[in-house]
Amino acid sequence: MSDLHSLQGKTVLIAGGAKNLGGLLARDLARHGAQAVAIHYNSASSRTAADETVAAVEAAGAKAVAFQADLTAAAAMEKLFADTVAAVGRPDIAINTVGKVLKKPFAEISEAEYDEMSAVNAKSAFFFLKEAGRHVKDHGKIVTLVTSLLGAFTPFYSSYAGTKAPVEHFTRAAAKEFGARGISVNALGPGPMDTPFFYGQEAADAVAYHRSAAALSPYSKTGLTDIEDVVPFIRHLVSEGWWMTGQTILLNGGYTTK
């Protein structure tokens, strides 16, 4: 296999890489040959998870470093990439799993809530792609997490899906602009995943509904998307998926009109 289509010896940066999908992804890429993994975490509450992920990555034979930052500021994103380059070198792969969900009726969303959703979901993704374009090596890979709600017709997620939607367009533009250097840029939109990210916004009746809403719900552990099943898609996109760029890939369309 060509080195361009392999994880062997590659350096990875994962925004939101301390826990849940990001933490599992850091471990998986290390096990599959990544040389170094830089892990971003948002706040002190995630420090323990970040330390555990660093230890797991190192146990898999890769170098690991962790950096804390609020990535809603462009300067913080610039520093994250600069710190990564200083610690482990320019990344071959940059993955952004950062996001915030809000389930609330449209008419009840405050300006402050909208501004926060926009900053976390859209602004941080824009500046992540900007810095990835500046720092990722030629022939590198960039992946951002969005949501399958981009393909859904459903209430109560207006500020979440609405502030993830621009990332689809950022992805296309970045793919066009970075493609001359052999860099692929894609977005992946899972359905509702079995993580605290999902459960924090859902009442018990909605959780029960979503656990049976998707056609494949009977085949997952909880009825929701198992993060263990999302990781291989991302691993493919950052290793062998060299031919795909500018795409938004929606997985497990478990969101319906509930």
Going by the DSSP 8-state scheme, the letter that residue 201 receives in this structure is T
How high is the pLDDT of residue 230? 86
How high is the pLDDT of residue 258? 37
How high is the pLDDT of residue 223? 61
Alpha-carbon distances, residue 38 vs 4, 99, 155, 209 (angstroms): 20, 18, 37, 37
How high is the pLDDT of residue 61? 97
95 three-state secondary structure: strand
How high is the pLDDT of residue 202? 64
* Rounded-to-integer distance, Cα 212 and Cα 109, Å: 28
* Segments in the chain below pLDDT 50: 1-2, 253-258
- pLDDT tens digits, residue range 11-34? 999 999 999 999 999 999 999 999
* Rounded-to-integer distance, Cα 203 and Cα 124, Å: 28
How high is the pLDDT of residue 131? 98
Query: Which domains occur in the chain, in start order?
Result: 3-248 (3.40.50.720)
How high is the pLDDT of residue 207? 58
pTM value is 0.89
70 three-state secondary structure: coil
How long a stretch of residues is the chain?
Answer: 258
